[in-house]
Amino acid sequence: MSHSFYTVTQLAEELGLTPRAVRFYESKGLISPKRAGTTRVYTEHERDRLILVQRGKRLGFSLQDIKDYLDLYETDQAGQEQLNALLRGVRSRIEKLEEQSAALTQTLAELRDIERNATNSLAELGRSKAC
């Protein structure tokens, strides 16, 4: 589907969002539609920004982080400041995910130990009743 302009419904359908979500992102300043009379009209620019918003959300970035990054794109034509901000954000997110991964690994090990102990206790109870 290749359009130059989208209505809120068309844009939502193309990106797998609800119209309400599109309007929410607009209210947060992530996109800025044009007006054709009383109708909001979204361009490829807003579409591309929403794709980046969705990607940022999947990667665990806050809407404010995503907005800051997207706003840099508008002001930093060379892209250096934007890339530096991206790199800082990505490194921070990697660090947080590595911490969560370590905590998850520890939690899984503890749960497996509890499971093993409970299974052994049940097996012993079953043997003692059989005697």
Contact 47, 7 (CB under 8 A): no
Indicate the domain borders of the chain.
Answer: 1-62
- Condensed to tens digits (0 to 9), the pLDDT of residues 98-114 reads 999 999 999 999 999 99
Question: How far apart, in whole angstroms, are the C-alpha atoms of residue 73 and residue 86?
Answer: 11
- Condensed to tens digits (0 to 9), the pLDDT of residues 46-79 reads 999 999 999 999 999 999 999 988 888 777 667 7
Mean pLDDT across the chain: 90
Q: At residue 20, what is the residue type? A: R
Asked whether the predicted pLDDT for residue 3 surpasses 60, the reply is no
Give me the pLDDT at residue 119, please: 96
Q: Which fold has domain 1-62?
A: Multidrug-efflux Transporter Regulator; Chain: A; Domain 2 (1.10.1660)
Question: How far apart, in whole angstroms, are the C-alpha atoms of residue 75 and residue 16?
Answer: 29
Question: How far apart, in whole angstroms, are the C-alpha atoms of residue 131 and residue 121?
Answer: 16
Query: What Rg value do the Cα atoms of the chain yield, rounded?
Result: 25
Phi and psi (nearest 5°) for 30? -80, -25
Contact 17, 51 (CB under 8 A): no
Quote the Cα angle for 108-115-106, to 5°. 20
Q: How confident is the model at residue 131 (pLDDT cuts 50, 70, 90)?
A: low
Return the higher-pLDDT residue of 128 and 55.
55
The separation between the first and the last C-alpha atoms of the chain, rounded to the nearest angstrom, is 73
Question: pTM of the prediction?
Answer: 0.71
